[in-house]
Amino acid sequence: MTIFDPLRPSSASPATNGAELPTLLQGRATEKRESAYATALAQFDRAAQILNLDPGLADTLRSCKRELTVNFPVKMDNGEVRRFTGYRVHHNTARGPTKGGIRYAPTVDLDEVRALAMWMTWKCAIVNIPYGGAKGGVVCNPKELSPRELEGLTRRYATEISPFISPEGDIPAPDMGTNPQIMAWIMDTYSMHRGYSVPAIVTGKPINIGGSAGRFEATGRGIMFTVREAYRTFGWDFDGISVVVQGFGNVGSITAQTAHEMGCRVIAVSDVEGGIYNPRGIDIPRLRRYMREHSTVQGFDGADKITNAELLELPCDVLVPAAMENQITHANAGRIKARIVAEGANGPTTPEADEILMANNVLVIPDILCNAGGVVVSYFEWVQSLQQLFWEEDDVTHRLERIMVRSFHDVYEQSIRMNLDLRTSALVLGIGRVAEATQTRGLYP
Ligand code: GLU
């Protein structure tokens, strides 16, 4: 079976469903995988089988090493005290200290944090930076909190997880619902407890307290470096390609901006309230200015209104889901008309959807490769913070590009050698590297 043929056009057929998939895939396509954690475990098991991992080693690698749940009170603006729940999970430390973002969302739960921590381990190994994976989260809706409540919640959460984080052991960063200001509060809280400034405790900090130039832009730029390299590799013309971006937060807006600067035509973008579409291309710098003023892309005069569901199904060259997980599912995958799906979010495509896209020759560049630019520049920021030495933005961006290009080729060439789709190839590469490090270190005691 050919996994992906760059010479065959992608052929989304509205009639495609589980029953029409190659027989090999049918059983898996009809399975129900509701949670990100179930997906992460299923992905791991498949890669472990391909790698022929020893069952004891596989069982260790598929489990999270440490899991912390914290319940803590926060004084709200109306004087009431409200209890919040948060998590921090360390998945694996074989290749180095653990690294990963903190997510603020009402839907966060322990299983989701476990899945995201596990994906961080494989992601860091794929781009070959010396970290294991971690993730944190607080169950809350940051949009409903005042700035003072958000600061209080952040400082108390940072205090509660402080036995679990350190510049040598576990380094948090932003993720969905968090931002550089929240990293600044975590850094300040941790530093107050120590009695001196500890900038290397978090990455994604504001530049004026030791953040790295180019960190804020890193994930979006990394996505477009990877997409451009895919085009070069297949001998496709990159000039003026049409790009659709779901999500206009940090990742989505910088992806759109970078695509625009690279000469692509960004024809549609969206936020939680819905999308906007202009087949001639949207003026992204003007839209970003509009967004800063209005906090939404809605009402922008250079484009027509569409729904988030319609946006995903637009004919385009590259679709970048950069909003949240489970956006491309068995229900809409057959109607995706993009040539490439470049995953900006973590886990935006379900396993069932993966198989439908593959059958339609739509290339999926998986999250753990495609959005790794953020953690790559987090690594640069951590190194700079530890050394109190700062790099120019150009230097950061060139190093980022080299790593994304190299990682794309590592994953792509292995996928050809082993006849694997890119997601499975990325998992096999990442898990293989972690397994190797575990074996080299040996078993204690
Ligand atoms: N939250 C981002 C991710 O999912 C970045 C993590 C980091 O920079 O440590 O990759």
Using the predicted structure, report yes or no on whether residue 17 has a pLDDT greater than 60.
no
* H or E segment to which residue 89 belongs: strand 81-90
Is residue 375 lining ligand 1, measured as CB closer than 6 Å?
A: yes
Is residue 101 lining ligand 1, measured as CB closer than 6 Å?
A: yes
The CATH number of the domain covering residues in 64-204: 3.40.50.10860
Residue 104 corresponds to which tokens in the numbers above? Answer: 């603020």
**pLDDT of 9:** 77
Distance (Å, whole) CA 251 – CA 153 = 24
Choose one of 201, 203, 375 to mutate for the ligand 1 pocket test, by most ligand atoms within 8 angstroms of C-beta.
Answer: 375
Percent of the chain at pLDDT exceeding 70: 94
Using the predicted structure, report yes or no on whether residue 74 has a pLDDT greater than 50.
yes
- Each residue's pLDDT tens digit, 232-243: 999 999 999 999
Report, as residue numbers or ranges, the catalytic residues: 135
pLDDT band at 12 (very low <50, low <70, confident <90, very high): low
Q: How far is the CA of 137 from the centre of ligand 1 (A)?
A: 12
Using the predicted structure, report yes or no on whether residue 325 has a pLDDT greater than 80.
yes
* pLDDT, mean over the chain: 94
- Each residue's pLDDT tens digit, 245-291: 999 999 999 999 999 999 999 999 999 999 999 999 999 999 999 99
Hey, where are the domains in the chain?
A: 1-27+213-371+396-445, 64-204
Nearest-CA residue for ligand 1 atom 9 is 100
Using the predicted structure, report yes or no on whether residue 295 has a pLDDT greater than 50.
yes
Q: How far is the CA of 377 from the centre of ligand 1 (A)?
A: 9
Q: Which residues of 66-103 are buried (b: 16+ CB within 10 A; e: fewer)?
A: ebbebebebeeeeeeeeebbbbbbbbbbbbbbbbbbbb
Nearest-CA residue for ligand 1 atom 8 is 375
**pLDDT of 8:** 82
* H or E segment to which residue 419 belongs: none
Choose which CATH entry (3.40.800.20, 3.40.50.720, 1.10.3720.10, 3.30.2000.10) describes domain 1-27+213-371+396-445.
3.40.50.720
Whether the Cβ atoms of residue 140 and residue 85 lie closer than 8 Å to each other: no
pLDDT band at 13 (very low <50, low <70, confident <90, very high): very low
Residue 248 corresponds to which tokens in the numbers above? Answer: 């206009």
* Angle, vertex CA 127, rays to CA 124 and CA 134, nearest 5: 10
Dihedral sign for Cα 412, 407, 400, 94, please.
Answer: positive
**DSSP class of residue 195?**
T
By three-state DSSP, how is residue 187 classified? helix
Using the predicted structure, report yes or no on whether residue 392 has a pLDDT greater than 60.
yes
Distance (Å, whole) CA 220 – CA 304 = 24
Distances (CA, A) of 282 to 85, 135, 245: 41, 35, 11
Closest approach atom of ligand 1 to CA 131: 9
As a whole number of Å, the end-to-end CA separation of the chain is 45
Distance (Å, whole) CA 250 – CA 431 = 28
Which amino acid, residue 444? Y
Q: How far is the CA of 373 from the centre of ligand 1 (A)?
A: 9
Is residue 133 lining ligand 1, measured as CB closer than 6 Å?
A: no
- Each residue's pLDDT tens digit, 161-201: 999 999 999 999 999 999 999 999 999 999 999 999 999 99
- Each residue's pLDDT tens digit, 18-61: 333 333 333 333 333 458 999 999 999 999 999 999 999 999 99
Distance (Å, whole) CA 400 – CA 332 = 33
Using the predicted structure, report yes or no on whether residue 15 has a pLDDT greater than 80.
no
Is residue 330 lining ligand 1, measured as CB closer than 6 Å?
A: no
Write down the pTM of the prediction. 0.94
